[in-house]
Amino acid sequence: MTQTLSVLFFGDIVGRPGRDALSLVLTSQEKYFSEKFDFIIANVENASHGFGLTQKNHDQILSYGVNCMTSGNHIWDKKDIYQYIDTSDALIRPYNYHKSARGVGYRIFDDKILVINLLGKTFMQPVNCPFQAIDELSEKLNFNDKIVIVDYHAEATAEKISFARYASSLGVNAVIGTHTHVQTADERIFDEKCAFISDVGFTGAYDSVIGMDYESSVKRLITSIPERFDVASSSSRQINAVQIKFDRVNNRALEIKRFNFTYETTKEEHEG
């Protein structure tokens, strides 16, 4: 076993274009990435028709080789989540919902990798304070002997940076922002131990508005009348992810690298 643990983290997978892109890059990893990964995380809150996650898509994404699925505010959008969320051993939902919420907000993999999901507080639905939540978790779980990764699902970049610095002081080793679907170019390592990016971006239709159809999006903005959103049916796809390398001995993040690539699907792939 090498001394480095390499994690690949995909931004929000949006609808079928996102699932197809995820499947493609994970089934032919050597074509897209120069290195192998020890652990793969994907944010799946938009994986089924842009809203939520069905059990069928949950099982499909696991079969592609994803080890942990994180989520966000949209995780509740498909009704069948309530039927299977308590049986999944890979999916987490934001920890800082009310204690009555189904599912769990963190999971520990191989006694070593602790993945936590939190919702931000600025311009988001009111939830329990994420700063207080990470305080509680740092007291309850021993952060020192684990690689601690937080999916911080939030809108405001200033909040994400503030949270990452705070979490780093508590022993968190990576804070990866999700939710805005737009990849930021601010990846860095705080305190020589905590990897950070404001937003990892999304995986899905490239010719779109954050994965969704342009026509309904612009109509809603012009008229202010609710409009049904559909996943964009673009034949071009984008893949947004980050790779984080950790030292297995002291758990520190050593490196964070962004991936942002696009590709054109064949006619069969697009229509099939």
Q: Which residues bind Fe ion (CB under 5 A)?
A: 12, 45-46, 72-73, 179
- Would strands 253-264 and 236-247 be described as parallel, antiparallel, or unpaired? antiparallel
Which residue number, 46 or 238, has a Cβ lying nearer to Fe ion? 46
CB of residue 63 vs Fe ion: minimum separation in angstroms? 22
Closest CA to 97 of 73, 63, 79: 73
CB of residue 240 vs Fe ion: minimum separation in angstroms? 11
CB of residue 178 vs Fe ion: minimum separation in angstroms? 7
d(CA 14, CA 241): 13
Tokens encoding 42: 């994907």
Tell me how far CA of residue 272 lies from CA of 32, 187, 224, 225, 255, in angstroms.
Answer: 23, 36, 35, 33, 38
Which residue number, 240 or 265, has a Cβ lying nearer to Fe ion? 240
d(CA 20, CA 205): 10
Which parts of 3-96 are beta strand (E)? 4-10, 12-13, 39-43, 68-70
Selecting among 74, 153, 179, 181, the annotated active-site residue is 74
CB of residue 246 vs Fe ion: minimum separation in angstroms? 25
Which residue number, 12 or 151, has a Cβ lying nearer to Fe ion? 12
Which residue number, 20 or 45, has a Cβ lying nearer to Fe ion? 45
153 annotated active-site: no
Q: Which amino acid is at 37?
A: F
The catalytic residues are 74
